[in-house]
Amino acid sequence: MTKKSTYVMIEAKLISKKSTKLNIRQRRIFSEEFKREKVQEISSGLCSIKSFCNLWGVSSVTVYRWLYRYSSEHKKGTTMVIQKDSEAQKTAELLEKVASLEQRLGQKQMQIDYLEKLIEIASKDAGVDLKKNTKVPL
C-alpha cells in the first residue's frame, strides 16, 4: 500500500463517520405534577424504576432524585439497619454490660472520693500529712 492509498482509506473512514448521525437526547422538562404522579406509581409498586426509565427515556439517577424529593418513604440520608435476631440480642447484652460497668465505675469513684476525704480529715486530726508520710506518730 502506498501513502496515497492509505490516506484515501483514512479519509473515507472519517467521511463515513461524519455521515452517521449522533442521537442526542433532547432536554425535556417534566412538570412537578407529573413527577409526583410517577413517584406515587413507583412507590405503590405499579411499575419498577427500570421499566419507568425504559418507558420514558429517563436515567435512573433522575428517578431516584425525584423519589428523594417527592416521596415521603424514600428520604435521602436515612439508613436502614438490617440485622439478625442474634445480632440484636448481642447488641442489647453489650449495652447492658456497658451500663453495669459505668455503674461500677461510678461506685468506685465515690469510694475513692470517700477515702480521700477520710485521709484528709485524719491528716487534720493527726497534724501530719498522711498522703506524704506513711508513718503515723503514736
Whole-structure pTM value? 0.39
**For the chain, which ranges sit under pLDDT 70?**
1-22, 25, 75-78, 133-138
Task: Give the model confidence (pLDDT) of 37-66 as tens digits.
Answer: 989 989 888 888 899 899 888 899 999 999
The region that residue 91 occupies, defined by phi over 0 for left and psi between -120 and 50 for alpha, beta otherwise, is alpha
Residue pair 52/42 in contact (Cβ under 8 Å)? The answer is yes
- Position 89 scores a pLDDT of 87
pLDDT value for 73: 77
What local confidence, expressed as pLDDT, does residue 127 receive? 84
Residue 104: burial class (beta carbons within 10 Å; 0-12, 13-18, 19+): exposed
